[in-house]
């Protein structure tokens, strides 16, 4: 069949959200029934499609097993050998729990110990706490922050599983005969970073279920690899992880974490890391992020990465984003005002006194009251503060200034 004989076989409209209902997928077939291309009406016009990433953790519902077998609990006074399991729970909130049985050992004394270490074969020792001791041989407890493999090999790819981020429209992804627009590709220094909305989010009703339960779950996955295909170590990716966390938090208006991280090489070796960082339950938080233009994340990544090289600016930006999120999620208006003021004071100090040339001196900043400093910086940026309720909008406006 010649190119002129290629015919349009199907046109399907998918409603991604209320803003993008005009997006259509034009599916074109050749004589062998293979996909040739697709066009996005009202979209970016990019014809390139990236294959959607898959993960065994997409099959997880409320919990999964990290380890099964013998492990130890260590305190200042004793070592207890246990046999049991360590599991990661998403519900009711992310937690790493363990349950084990001991033989012929008095373990009640462990409940009085302050510092307890969990030792698991093949994993680094980590701090733990005890919840319950039953019949002097069954112990229940939890890992305080993280548990990870003690391997330190060179890997080819690294996968980060993101908890409770938002649904957005990005670049085209393909999975079998189905498409979605959840992809964002970022090239940063010698890295290729592929952020994707999980491909099964519609079939499994990921976002409606999270919203109904006010719960937690994996919504996105990030694949990291070197652009030249070379290998790298886990220690090389920490900075990029941090950038993503603060971008996600800023965009979602909630605390976003990456609880599952997996490294792989072509020889079949695997590195695993599980953690329970600060993560907010899922809920829709109205804020500045344009979900119909998720590719904003790429630009934001480059801007934020350049700013975080300065430790002082890095600390201010992180603290301000934290207080911005607290403002969005505060219940009472009084708390919103206080949180907004904290964020604005930190940002105003940087923008007024730390730029070249200075807008005002540090001495004058300290002498001015909060309102005077706020009005000064808002005037400089041509932002009008109409009322105290609009403090939140001023916060996000000022956050983006030092980033951009």
Which domains can be identified in the chain, with CATH numbers?
1-47 (no CATH), 59-148 (2.40.10), 310-403 (no CATH)
Q: Is 289 helix (H, G, I), strand (E, B) or coil?
A: coil
> Which tokens is 76 given?
């200042």
Confidence at residue 38, expressed as pLDDT on a 0 to 100 scale: 32
Sign of CA dihedral 294, 300, 305, 308: negative
E strand or H helix at 347: helix 333-353
Q: Which residues pair with 220 in a beta bridge?
A: 162, 197
**Residues 81-88, mean pLDDT to the nearest whole number:** 96
Residue 199 CA to its chain's centroid (Å): 17
Confidence at residue 349, expressed as pLDDT on a 0 to 100 scale: 77
Q: Is 244 left (phi over 0), alpha (psi -120 to 50) or beta?
A: alpha
- Give the pLDDT confidence of 323-352 residue by residue, as tens digits: 788 877 766 565 666 666 676 777 777 778
Strands (E) across 5-60 are located at: 8-13, 24-28, 49-51
- Give the pLDDT confidence of 203-251 residue by residue, as tens digits: 999 999 999 999 999 999 999 999 999 999 999 999 999 999 999 999 9
Band (25; pLDDT cuts 50, 70, 90) = very low
C-alpha distances in Å from residue 208, one per residue of 14, 42, 54, 212, 262: 17, 25, 21, 6, 27
């Amino acid at each position: 069949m010649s190119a002129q004989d290629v015919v349009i076989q199907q046109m399907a409209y998918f409603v991604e959200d209320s803003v993008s209902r005009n997006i259509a997928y034009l599916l074109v077939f050749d004589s062998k029934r293979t996909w040739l291309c697709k066009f996005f009406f009202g979209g970016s016009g990019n014809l390139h499609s990236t294959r959607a990433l898959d993960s065994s953790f997409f099959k997880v519902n409320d919990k999964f097993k990290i380890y099964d077998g013998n492990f130890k609990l260590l305190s200042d006074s004793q070592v207890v050998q246990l046999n049991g399991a360590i599991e990661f729970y998403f519900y009711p909130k992310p937690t790493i729990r363990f349950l084990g049985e001991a033989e012929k050992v008095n373990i009640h004394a462990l409940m009085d110990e302050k510092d307890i270490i969990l030792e698991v074969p093949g994993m680094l020792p980590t701090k733990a706490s005890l919840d319950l001791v039953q019949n002097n041989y069954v112990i229940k407890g939890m890992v305080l922050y993280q548990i990870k493999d003690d391997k330190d090999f060179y890997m080819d790819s690294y996968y980060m599983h993101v908890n409770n981020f938002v649904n957005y429209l990005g670049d085209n992804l393909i999975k079998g005969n189905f498409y979605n627009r959840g992809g964002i590709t970022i090239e940063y220094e010698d890295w290729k970073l592929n952020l994707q909305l999980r491909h099964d989010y519609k079939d499994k009703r990921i976002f409606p279920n999270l919203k109904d339960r006010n719960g937690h779950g994996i919504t996105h996955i990030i694949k990291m690899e070197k652009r030249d295909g070379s290998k790298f170590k886990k220690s090389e990716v920490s900075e990029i992880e941090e950038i993503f966390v603060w971008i996600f938090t800023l965009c979602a208006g909630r605390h976003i974490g990456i609880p599952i991280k997996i490294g792989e090489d072509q020889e079949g070796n695997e590195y695993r890391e599980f953690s329970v960082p600060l993560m907010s339950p899922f809920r829709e938080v109205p804020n500045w992020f344009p979900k119909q233009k998720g590719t904003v994340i790429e630009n934001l990544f480059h801007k934020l990465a350049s700013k975080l090289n300065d430790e002082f600016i890095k600390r201010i930006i992180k603290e301000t984003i934290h207080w911005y999120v607290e403002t969005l999620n505060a219940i009472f208006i009084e708390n919103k005002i206080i949180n907004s003021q904290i964020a604005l004071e930190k940002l105003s100090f940087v923008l007024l006194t730390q730029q070249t040339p200075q807008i005002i001196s540090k001495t004058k900043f300290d002498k001015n009251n909060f309102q005077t400093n706020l009005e000064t910086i808002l005037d400089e940026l041509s932002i009008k503060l109409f009322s105290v309720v609009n403090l939140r909008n001023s916060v996000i406006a000022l956050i983006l200034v030092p980033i951009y």
